[in-house]
Amino acid sequence: MEWWMWVVGGVALLAAEVLTPGSFFLFFFGFGGIVTGILTKMGVISDSSMEWIVWSGVSFATMLLFRPMLVKLVKRIGPTNMDSIVGEVASPLADIVPGAVGQAELRGVPWIAENAGDVPLTKGQRCRVIALEGLKIRLRAE
């Protein structure tokens, strides 16, 4: 395989890591791809089967050595303040019947919102955020 294909693939895997925050798996395979591309460009690796062996070895070795430290570092940095939105006031952007999902404005930003109460929520009504599930807020009328 051409050296630049390894580098492009490695960069793509590093970029894909952004979509899976905190897992740190794709990061190491991307790093292994970049290292393999550089070694191929320098002429250290000339056989295509050896490229795959180097990529696998570098990826797994660095993952085993450095992933635990990265995971601890991310945990030490601390959780986000997303849970602080529980208890805040949000306003539905359209009527939402009980159990249904719609959109609501919270902190000036539209969110996916679920009506967790027993009564319909009307557009603009003041509602309390009772839970955060991923990027969806659960609302109840005040």
Q: What percent of the chain has pLDDT over 70?
A: 93
Q: Whole-model pTM?
A: 0.56
**Nearest-angstrom CA–CA distance, 30 and 17:** 9
Which helix (H) or strand (E) element contains residue 15? helix 3-17
Q: How far is CA 140 from CA 82, 94, 102, 108, 109, in A?
A: 18, 14, 13, 18, 18
The residue extents of the domains of the chain are 3-77, 83-141
User: What string of DSSP letters covers 38-94?
Assistant: HHHHTTS---HHHHHHHHHHHHHHHHHHHHHHHHHHHHHH---GGGGGTT-EEEESS
Which helix (H) or strand (E) element contains residue 6? helix 3-17
Q: For the segment 13-68, what is each residue's pLDDT rounded down to a tens digit?
A: 999 988 776 678 899 999 999 999 999 999 999 999 999 999 999 999 999 999 99
Q: For the segment 60-77, what is each residue's pLDDT rounded down to a tens digit?
A: 999 999 999 988 887 776
**Nearest-angstrom CA–CA distance, 86 and 139:** 9
Report the topology of domain 83-141. OB fold (Dihydrolipoamide Acetyltransferase, E2P) (2.40.50)
